[in-house]
């Protein structure tokens, strides 16, 4: 990623606890981090992630969707805040609002989302319960570029976890989140360091087309 000779600047959009934001903060604080966190934006004033941003001395803003009549005007307000910080990459870390096509177009190829399922399986909500109901043996999370279509942009990295017979949605979610915290900063690192780029909708890893996302398994992750 070209960022004019400086570390690429990352904006993180959140709606809640911000455990993924914390994983980015921890990565950014390492000496060899390839990116810097520029700003955190929450659409909820009581999101715990705002406290995490404050502790890490990262500027934060609340832009409540409730203050706007429609999606376009909410997105314009988010864009207005982002312009103050000139981010190279936008991270949707549990940001529970759908972004408009015009917003996505402005930042094409520069917005990453984490989705709690092995896309294309289980787009949308309640993914853990749906995976349990379907008696899946494997579940996980996907980091993908954001396009106009919900949970459908080109995928980069997936974290795969086993579904255990004793699982409920909470235990399965916790296992998936452990993987999220590994693969999300990792995918951003690949982009910030220039290993991953998107050209004409095709993800390239080290210059070669990525036919399928790279899959990281639970066991590998916990060795």
Between the alpha carbon of residue 151 and those of residues 19, 21, 124, 144, 206, the distances in Å are 20, 19, 7, 8, 24
Nearest CB to ligand GAR, comparing residues 38 and 93: 93
Looking up tokens 């999370």 gives: 141
CA distance 1 to 212: 21
Could you give the residue numbers annotated as active site? 115
Q: Which two tokens stand for residue 47?
A: 């999101």
Torsion on CA atoms 209, 159, 183, 63, rounded to nearest 10: 100
Sheet containing 208-209: which strands, arranged edge to edge? 196-199, 202-205, 208-209
Stretch that binds ligand GAR, among 11-19, 35-43, 71-79, 83-91 (CB under 6 A): 11-19
Q: Which residue is nearest to ligand GAR (CB)?
A: 94
- Least CB distance from residue 194 to ligand GAR, whole Å? 26
Using rule CB under 6 A, residue 43 touches ligand GAR? no
Nearest CB to ligand GAR, comparing residues 19 and 129: 19
- Least CB distance from residue 127 to ligand GAR, whole Å? 7
Q: Of 69-108, which residues contact ligand GAR (CB under 6 A)?
A: 93-94
Give the residues lining the site for ligand GAR (CB under 6 A).
14, 16-20, 49, 93-94, 114-116, 141, 177, 180
């Amino acid at each position: 990623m070209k960022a004019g000779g400086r570390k690429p600047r990352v904006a993180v959009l959140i709606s809640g606890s911000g455990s993924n934001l914390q994983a980015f903060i921890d990565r950014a604080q390492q000496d060899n981090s390839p990116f810097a966190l520029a700003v955190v934006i929450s659409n909820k004033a009581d999101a715990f992630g705002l406290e995490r941003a404050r502790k890490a001395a990262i500027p934060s803003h609340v832009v409540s969707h409730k203050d706007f009549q429609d999606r376009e005007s909410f997105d314009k307000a988010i864009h207005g805040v982002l312009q103050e910080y000139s981010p190279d990459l936008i991270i949707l870390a549990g940001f529970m609002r759908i972004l408009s096509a015009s917003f996505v177009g402005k930042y094409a190829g520069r917005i990453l989302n984490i989705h709690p399922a092995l896309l294309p399986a289980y787009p949308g909500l309640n993914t853990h319960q749906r995976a349990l109901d379907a008696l899946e043996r494997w579940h996980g999370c996907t980091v993908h570029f954001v396009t106009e279509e919900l949970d459908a942009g080109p995928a980069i990295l997936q974290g795969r976890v086993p579904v255990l017979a004793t699982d409920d949605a909470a235990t399965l979610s916790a296992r998936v989140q452990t993987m999220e915290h590994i693969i999300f900063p990792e995918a951003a690192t690949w982009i910030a360091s220039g290993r991953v780029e998107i050209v004409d909708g095709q993800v390239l890893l080290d210059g070669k087309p990525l036919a399928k996302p790279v899959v990281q398994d639970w066991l590998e992750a916990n060795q």
